[in-house]
C-alpha cells in the first residue's frame, strides 16, 4: 500500500496505544449472549490442500453483496479461533482494540457511529484509491464526494479509510472501507447504498452498506486479503481482455511451470526483493516479512479463456503482487528457470528482479476480518 497520511497516522497511534493496553484489557467476552447476538454470517468452507493449520485459524472475509435486517453484511465467510494466527502481538492488540476503554476513546473523538462499505471499481481512470487532492481523480475522492452529499459531513470528519490503498489502474471486486458519522443514518441502509450508487461514477459501485461493530477499522482489523491477477496467454489475444488482463501471447506460457513457480512464494518469508520503494521512501525501514497462504493458478473458460492467479496472504507490501507475477511470468515463458526464482527470493534484492506485471490485470478480490468486527452488537453495552 501507499504510505500513511495524517489521518492514518492518528489511527496508527490509537492502534499502538491498544497494544500497550493489551495486558490490562479485559478478557474478551466469548459467550454468545455476552457478545450481544451478532447477526449470523453465512459460512463457507475454505479448506485448501496443503494449507494445514494456517487454514484452520479464524478469520472472516467480507463478501457482503447485500444487507440483512441488522445492517450487517450477509455474505461473510468465517474462520474460527485466533484471528491473526500465531501473531501473538497482533492478537493481543486486536483484543485491546475492542475493549471498553478503546470504545470510550473512540466516541470521545466524535466517532459516534461507524459504517462499512464493500466496493467494486474499475481502476483504469483513477490514480489509485488514496485521496491526493481534489484535482486528482481517485476512488477515495469520489466516495467522499458522494458521502458528503449523503451525510452532510465533510471529508475530515468522515475519516474514510480502506482495507487496501490500491495503486493507479488496479481494480477491485471486494474493497472494504469504513467511515464515521455523528448520528445514525437510519435502519434501512439499502436506501443509502442506492443513493450512493446514484451519485457515484458508473465505474464505482457500492455493493454493500452496513453498520459493523463501532470499533471496526477496515485496514487495521484486516487479517488477510486475496488478490486475483489475470493473464491472456493466447497467441491471438482477445480485444475484450486488453483492459483487465496482461496480454502475453507473444511469448508461450507454460501453465504447469507457472503453478510450480507460484508455490515457491507460499509460506512465511522476507519478500523484500518484491517490494518497491514508495516515492517518499517512507517504507524503506518497514518489516518486509509476510505470510502467503496460497498462490494458485487456474485456467477457466468462464474467464474468457484467461489464466487466473489467486494469491492470499496476511498482508502485502507495496506492489508485491505485481512484482511476484512479473517474476513468475519470466519463468513460465522459459526465459528463466525455477532456480532463478529461488535466487531472487533468497537474495532479497529488488534490483535483480524483473519488472512487475502491469496494473490492469490486478483485482483486490476479498478482505478477511475477525467475525466480531463485521456486525453491530445488539446489546446496549456499546450504546
Max mean pLDDT among 155-159, 249-253, 298-302 falls in 155-159
Mean pLDDT over each residue of the chain, to the nearest integer: 82
Contacts of 332 (CB under 8 A, 6+ apart): 253, 254, 255, 257, 258, 261
Question: Model confidence over 58-84: pLDDT tens digits?
Answer: 444 454 434 443 444 433 443 445 788
On whether the CB atoms of residues 33 and 344 are closer than 8 A, the answer is no
167 is catalytic: yes
Can you tell me the mean pLDDT for 25-32?
A: 44
On whether the CB atoms of residues 60 and 371 are closer than 8 A, the answer is yes
DSSP labels for 154-201?
A: -HHHH--EES--PPTT-EEEEEEEEEEESS---S-HHHHHHHHHHHS-
Helix 88-97 with 6-20: angle, nearest 10 deg = 100
Residue 147 clears pLDDT 70, i.e. is over it: yes
Can you tell me the mean pLDDT for 233-251?
A: 89
> How many residues comprise the chain?
383
Can you tell me the mean pLDDT for 232-257?
A: 90
Q: Is 233 helix (H, G, I), strand (E, B) or coil?
A: coil
d(CA 39, CA 298): 34
Max mean pLDDT among 181-190, 201-210, 280-289 falls in 201-210
Q: Where are the beta strands (DSSP E) in 202-303?
A: 204-210, 224-232, 246-247, 267-270, 289-300
pLDDT of residue 369: 96
Can you tell me the mean pLDDT for 338-363?
A: 94
d(CA 14, CA 98): 12
d(CA 382, CA 376): 9
pLDDT band per the 50, 70, 90 thresholds, residue 18: low
Residue 15 clears pLDDT 70, i.e. is over it: no
pLDDT higher for 48 or 307? 307
Residue 20 clears pLDDT 50, i.e. is over it: no
Nearest to 369 by CA among 177, 101, 140, 128: 177
pLDDT band per the 50, 70, 90 thresholds, residue 39: very low
Can you tell me the mean pLDDT for 144-168?
A: 95
Per-residue cell: 245: 488482463
Can you tell me the mean pLDDT for 262-274?
A: 95
> Exposure of 31 by Cβ count < 10 A (0-12 exposed, 13-18 middle, 19+ buried)?
exposed
Can you tell me the mean pLDDT for 314-318?
A: 93
DSSP state of 119: E
pLDDT of residue 24: 47
- Range of weakest confidence among 56-65, 123-132, 156-165, 328-337: 56-65
Question: Model confidence over 205-227: pLDDT tens digits?
Answer: 999 999 999 999 999 999 999 99
User: Which of the following is catalytic: 122, 167, 232, 314?
Assistant: 167
pLDDT of residue 383: 45
pLDDT band per the 50, 70, 90 thresholds, residue 42: very low
Per-residue cell: 273: 526483493
pLDDT higher for 382 or 322? 322
On whether the CB atoms of residues 358 and 246 are closer than 8 A, the answer is yes
State what percent of residues in the chain have pLDDT above 90. 61
DSSP state of 73: B
The Cα-based distances of 195 to 115, 148, 176, 200, 209 in angstroms read 15, 12, 18, 9, 11
Contacts of 176 (CB under 8 A, 6+ apart): 62, 116, 117, 118, 119, 162, 163, 218, 222, 367, 369
pLDDT of residue 130: 95
State what percent of residues in the chain have pLDDT above 70. 75
The Cα-based distances of 183 to 70, 128, 191, 273 in angstroms read 17, 30, 16, 46
Amino acid at each position: 500500500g501507499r504510505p500513511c497520511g495524517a489521518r492514518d497516522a492518528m489511527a496508527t497511534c490509537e492502534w499502538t496505544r491498544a497494544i500497550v493496553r493489551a495486558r490490562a484489557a479485559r478478557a474478551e467476552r466469548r459467550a454468545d449472549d455476552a457478545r450481544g447476538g451478532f447477526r449470523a454470517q453465512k459460512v463457507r468452507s475454505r479448506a485448501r490442500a496443503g494449507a494445514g493449520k494456517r487454514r484452520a485459524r479464524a478469520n472472516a472475509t467480507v463478501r457482503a453483496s447485500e444487507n440483512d435486517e441488522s445492517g450487517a453484511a450477509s455474505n461473510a465467510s468465517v474462520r474460527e479461533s485466533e484471528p491473526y494466527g500465531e501473531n501473538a502481538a497482533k492478537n493481543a492488540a486486536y483484543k485491546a482494540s475492542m475493549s471498553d476503554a478503546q470504545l470510550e476513546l473512540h466516541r470521545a473523538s466524535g466517532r459516534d457511529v461507524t459504517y462499512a462499505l464493500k466496493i467494486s471499481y474499475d481502476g483504469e481512470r483513477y490514480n489509485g484509491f488514496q485521496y491526493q487532492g481534489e484535482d486528482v481523480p481517485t476512488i477515495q475522492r469520489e466516495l467522499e464526494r458522494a458521502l458528503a452529499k449523503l451525510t452532510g459531513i465533510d471529508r475530515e470528519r468522515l475519516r474514510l479509510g480502506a482495507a487496501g490503498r490500491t495503486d493507479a489502474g488496479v481494480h477491485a471486486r471486494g474493497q472494504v472501507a469504513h467511515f464515521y458519522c455523528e448520528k445514525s443514518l437510519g435502519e434501512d441502509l439499502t436506501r443509502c447504498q442506492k443513493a450512493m450508487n446514484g451519485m457515484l461514477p458508473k465505474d464505482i459501485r457500492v455493493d454493500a452498506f452496513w453498520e459493523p461493530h463501532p470499533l471496526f477499522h477496515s485496514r487495521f482489523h484486516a487479517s488477510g486479503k486475496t488478490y486475483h491477477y489475470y493473464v491472456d496467454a493466447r497467441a491471438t489475444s482477445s480485444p475484450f481482455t486488453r483492459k483487465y488482463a496482461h496480454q502475453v501471447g507473444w511469448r508461450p506460457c507454460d501453465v504447469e511451470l507457472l503453478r510450480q513457480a507460484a508455490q515457491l512464494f507460499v509460506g512465511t518469508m522476507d519478500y523484500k526483493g518484491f517490494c518497491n520503494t514508495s516515492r517518499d521512501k517512507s517504507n524503506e525501514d518497514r518489516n518486509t516479512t509476510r505470510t502467503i497462504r496460497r498462490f494458485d493458478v487456474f485456467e477457466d473458460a468462464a474467464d474468457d479463456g484467461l489464466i487466473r492467479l489467486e494469491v492470499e496472504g496476511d498482508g502485502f507490501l507495496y506492489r508485491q503482487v505485481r512484482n511476484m507475477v512479473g517474476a513468475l511470468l519470466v519463468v513460465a515463458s522459459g526465459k528463466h528457470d525455477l532456480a532463478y526464482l529461488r535466487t531472487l527470493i533468497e537474495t532479497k534484492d529488488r534490483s535483480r528482479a524483473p519488472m512487475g506485471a502491469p496494473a490492469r490485470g490486478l483485482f483486490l478480490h476479498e478482505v478477511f476480518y475477525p467475525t466480531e468486527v463485521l456486525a453491530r452488537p445488539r446489546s446496549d453495552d456499546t450504546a
